[in-house]
A and B are shown apart, each in its own frame.
Chain A
Amino acid sequence: MANTDIADFTQAGGGLYDFTKPEEGYERAADGLTPELVREISAKKNEPQWMLDLRLKSLEIYESTPMPPNWGPSIAGLDMDHISAYVSPKTDQAKDWEDVPEDIKDTFERLGIPEAERASLAGVGAQYDSELVYHNMREEVAAQGVVYSGIEEALEGPYAELIHEKFMQLVPPTDHKFAALHGAVWSGGSFVYVPAGVKVDFPLQSYFRLNAAGAGQFEHTLIILEPGADLHFVEGCSAPKYNVANLHAGCVELYVGKGARLRYSTVENWSKNMYNLNTKRARVEEDGSIEWVSGSFGSHVSYLYPTSFLVGDRSSCEYTGITFAGATQNLDTGTRVVLQGKDTRCSINAKSLSKDGGISTFRSAVCITEGAEHAKASVSCASLMLDDHSRSDTIPAIDVRCRTASVGHEATIGRISDDTVTYLMSRGCTESEARTMVVNGFANPISKELPLEYAVEMNNLIKLEMEGAVG
Chain B
Amino acid sequence: METTNKQVLKQVNELPTPTWNHLEINGIDIEVPAAEGVAEAVEGRFEGATCEPPVGGAGGQAQAWLEAAAGEVCHVEVPAGEVADEPIVVDMAQVARAAFVLDVVVGAGAQASVVLVGNAPASEALGTTSGWSVRVAVEQDAKLDLFSVVACDAPQMLDNVGLVAQKGASVHVKQYVLSAQLSSTGFRCDLVGDGSTLELDARYLGRGTQTLDLGHVVRQIGKHTLCTMGFSGVLADDAFKSLRDTIDLVRGCKGSKGSENECVLLAGDGVGNQSLPVILCDEDDVAGDHGATVGEISPEQRAYLVSRGLAPEDIPALVMESTFAAAFEDAPVPQARAAVRTAAERVLGADVVADMLGE
Contact = CB atoms under 8 A, between A and B. Distances in A.
B281 A413 contact: yes
A403 interface: yes
A387 B284 CA distance: 6
A388 B283 contact: yes
A390 B284 contact: yes
Interface string B247-271: 0010100100000000010111101
Contacts of A396: 276-278
B41 interface: no
Interface stretch (B12-20, B114-122, B172-180, B214-222): B12-20
Interface string B271-282: 111111111111
B274 A398 contact: yes
A408 B293 contact: yes
Most buried by B among A389, A390, A396: A396
B289 A394 contact: no
Given A393-B279, A397-B274, A398-B294, A410 B25 contact: no
A95 interface: no
Interface in A367-424: 367, 383, 385-415
A405 B294 contact: yes
A412 B284 CA distance: 12
A71 B273 CA distance: 23
Nearest to A378: B293
Contacts of A411: 277, 279, 288-291
Given A395-B17, A396-B277, A407 B23 contact: no
A413 B272 CA distance: 29
A471 interface: no
B279 A403 contact: no
Contacts of B329: none
B279 A397 contact: no
Nearest to A417: B287
A220 interface: no
Contact of B23 (A385, A399, A406, A415): A399
Contacts of A393: 17, 278-281
A266 B237 CA distance: 43
Given A398-B273, A400-B273, A415-B284, A410 B23 contact: no
B292 A408 contact: yes
A386 B284 contact: yes
A410 B296 contact: no
Interface in A60-92: 68, 70-71
Given A397-B25, A398-B276, A399-B25, A388 B292 contact: no
A407 B274 contact: no
Contacts of B291: 408-411
Contacts of B321: none
B273 A399 contact: yes
Contacts of B81: none
A365 B20 contact: yes
Nearest to A413: B288
B295 interface: yes
A391 B282 contact: yes
A396 B292 CA distance: 10
B295 A405 contact: yes
B345 interface: no
Contacts of B18: 70-71
A258 B201 CA distance: 46
Contacts of B282: 391
Nearest to A382: B289
Contacts of A390: 284
A219 to B, nearest CB: 25
Contacts of B280: 393
Contacts of B294: 398, 400, 405-408
B277 A365 contact: no
A404 B271 CA distance: 10
Nearest to A403: B266
Contacts of B284: 385-388, 390, 415
B307 interface: no
Interface in A6-20: none
A385 B277 contact: no
Contacts of A408: 291-294
Most buried by A among B23, B271, B279, B287: B279
A413 B289 contact: yes
Nearest to B264: A400
Contacts of B296: 403-404, 406
Contacts of B269: 403
A395 B272 contact: no
Contact of B279 (A365, A386, A394): A394
Interface string B28-62: 00000000000000000000000000000000000
A395 B275 CA distance: 10
A281 interface: no
Most buried by B among A365, A400, A409, A413: A413
A435 interface: no
Most buried by A among B25, B281, B284: B284
A397 B278 CA distance: 9
A69 B283 CA distance: 26
B286 interface: yes
Contacts of A414: 286-288
B21 interface: yes
Most buried by A among B19, B271, B293: B19
Given A393-B280, A397-B23, A406 B287 contact: no
Contacts of B72: none
Nearest to B258: A413
A382 B285 CA distance: 15
Given A395-B19, A398-B294, A403-B268, A410 B278 contact: no
A383 B279 CA distance: 10
Nearest to B284: A385
Contact of A395 (B278, B283, B293): B278
Nearest to B294: A407
Contact of B272 (A70, A401, A409, A412): A401
Interface of A: 68, 70-71, 336, 363, 365, 367, 383, 385-415
The list of the 3 closest CB pairs from A to B, nearest first, reads A406-B295, A385-B284, A413-B288
Given A70-B18, A405-B266, 16 more contacts: A70-B21, A386-B284, A388-B251, A391-B281, A392-B281, A393-B17, A394-B290, A397-B23, A397-B276, A400-B266, A400-B294, A401-B271, A408-B294, A413-B279, A413-B286, A413-B288
25 contacts: A365-B23, A388-B283, A388-B285, A395-B17, A395-B276, A397-B19, A397-B274, A399-B274, A400-B273, A400-B274, A401-B272, A403-B271, A405-B295, A408-B293, A409-B277, A409-B291, A410-B289, A410-B292, A411-B279, A412-B287, A412-B289, A413-B286, A413-B289, A414-B287, A415-B284
